[in-house]
Amino acid sequence: MSTTRPLSRHPVLVESGVSTRTRVAIVGGGIIGLASAWQLLRAGCAVTVLDPSVGGGATNAAAGMITPSSEATFGHEALLAASIASAARWPTFAEQLSADSGLPVELCREGTLFVAADHDDELVLARQARLLERHHRSVDRLPSRAARRLEPALSPRLAGSLLIEDESSVDPRQVAQALRVAITRLGGEFRRVHARPQLRAGRVIGAVPASEAACPDGGGPCHADVTVLAGGWATTDLATGLGLHVPIRPLKGQVLRLRPAAPDVLHRVVRASVHGRFVYLVPRSSGEVVVGATSEDVGPDASVTAGAVHDLLHDAIEIVPELSEAVLVESLSGLRPATPDNLPIVGAVGIDGLVVAAGHGRDGILLAPLTAEAVLAEVLGQPSPQHADHFAPQRFSRTEGP
């Protein structure tokens, strides 16, 4: 389904026959709000991002894997197609962002090594290989010895591995910082405020502080032609306030950062099935390794638990034994914005002046370039990019009853 809209839905202001810039308010400055803001500014819009802690949501905890094939699961073909399309945009996205911000945006393009700890885990790998072969995705089955030539720090006791070459990773904190700087350089504004959309005469006319207490900058309303709700898992409450049903729930993920004694312990993303449990290890250019992650449907609880830290460390050390000597730099959790069908919700939602961009679950970093393009297309009244039409909010449409 195409999400093409007539321009009048989110109009460019016309005063005395002269077009002025479309004003866009973005509620939420995670990867999705920031990437959208940057693309809108590049297209000539005037943009304000409202967020009390820019980059502090799930984006701050994310590992940064851009791994459409490794994430693929049976029955989620639309997500795979969108993920492939977005991953293909990442090299240009990173290059342009680095140019606009003057900061490095490093894309590690060494692929993913998917390893099995025992013979049952090998069956998991075989299943993934079959799925990828069915979709004509490149995947190589490697004996463990070949895997250890690529990654010498891997345990010699592994049962098997797959190499998926066309995958990459970024550091989401580095990306968020570059987006912040690029947005400011292009004239975008930030307001450190907890906000909500403002409805007048059936149209959203911008965003206002959620309460006086939520407004430390003392500012009032932020008027806009288009308001984008990009508040991660909290978007559902923002939408409910307008009588809309946007089904997003928090899905907790706990993650660790380790600093190994030697640099370059790993060179690429390593995913592993360890006696039936999944773990991933993502190296950063700083030498740190991110180890993740749990997936817990426990509501908006961002605590870090001893059991999760134990399991993540146990599985990581089983795959890369020398990590037992690493310094545990950080343990944290983030709340992924999850939807019932694992696809994000991006587009107009039936109230003039309003666009939603949220619900990216496990894949918000991966899907950021395609999502930002879809938001831009929606604001400009242009056709949705290919594969982003699967994100249309109408698939869940019903208004909240009284």
Ligand X SMILES: Cc1cc2nc3c(=O)[nH]c(=O)nc-3n(C[C@H](O)[C@H](O)[C@H](O)COP(=O)(O)OP(=O)(O)OC[C@H]3O[C@@H](n4cnc5c(N)ncnc54)[C@H](O)[C@@H]3O)c2cc1C
Which residues here bind ligand X, judged by CB under 6 A? 27-33, 50-53, 56-59, 61-65, 194-196, 210, 230-232, 234, 238, 253, 255, 292-293, 334, 336-337, 358, 360-366
d(CA 94, CA 89): 9
Residue 70 CB, shortest distance to ligand X, in Å, is 10
In whole angstroms, how close is the CB of 363 to ligand X at the nearest point?
A: 4
Nearer CB in complex with ligand X: 122/177: 177
Q: How far is the CB of 64 from ligand X (least distance, A)?
A: 5
Mark 64-95 as b/e (b = at least 16 C-beta within 10 Å): bbbbbbbbbeeebeebbebbbbbbebbeebbe
Q: Which amino acid is at 284?
A: R
Residue 212 has a CB neighbour count (10 Å cut-off) of 8
Comparison of 68 and 160: residue with beta carbon closer to ligand X: 68
- As measured in angstroms, the least distance from the Cβ of 34 to ligand X is 7
Q: Which two tokens stand for residue 298?
A: 């426990």
* Residue with Cβ nearer ligand X (160 or 289): 289
Q: Which is nearer to ligand X, 122 or 280 (CB)?
A: 280
Least separation in angstroms between residue 28's CB and ligand X is 3
In the bound state with ligand X, the residue whose beta carbon lies nearer, of 148 and 284, is: 284
Contact 80, 236 (CB under 8 A): no
Identity of the residue, 35 or 129, whose beta carbon is nearer to ligand X in the bound complex: 35
Distance, CA of 327 to chain centre: 27
Give ∠ CA 213-214-219 in degrees, rounded to 5. 100
Within a 13 Å sphere around the CA of 236, how many CA atoms are in the beta-carbon half? Answer: 18
Least Å distance, CB 123 to ligand X, is 24
CB 356 within 8 A of CB 347: yes
Question: Which of residues 29 and 206 has its CB atom nearest to ligand X in the complex?
Answer: 29
Point out which residues pair with 250 in neighbouring strands: 337
Question: Could you tell me the two tokens for 284?
Answer: 């950063």
CB of 335 to ligand X, least distance (A): 6
Helix (H, G, I), strand (E, B) or coil at 195: strand
Quote the CA–CA distance of 392 and 184 in Å, as a whole number: 30
Query: Closest distance between ligand X and the C-beta of residue 361, in Å?
Result: 6
Q: Considering the complex, state which of residue 160 and residue 228 has its C-beta at the smaller distance from ligand X.
A: 228
DSSP 8-state symbol, 341: T
8 Å CB contact between 46 and 24? yes
Looking at the Cβ atoms of 118 and 296, the one nearer to ligand X is 296
Rounded CA gap, 150 and 168, in Å? 16
**Cα separation of 101 and 126, whole Å?**
42
Cα separations (Å) of 401 from 221, 243, 349? 28, 8, 16
* CB closer to ligand X out of 160 and 385: 385
- The nearest distance, CB 390 to ligand X, in angstroms, is 16
Q: Shortest approach of ligand X to residue 119 CB, angstroms?
A: 28
In angstroms, rounded to a whole number, what is the distance separating the alpha carbons of residues 115 and 252? 25
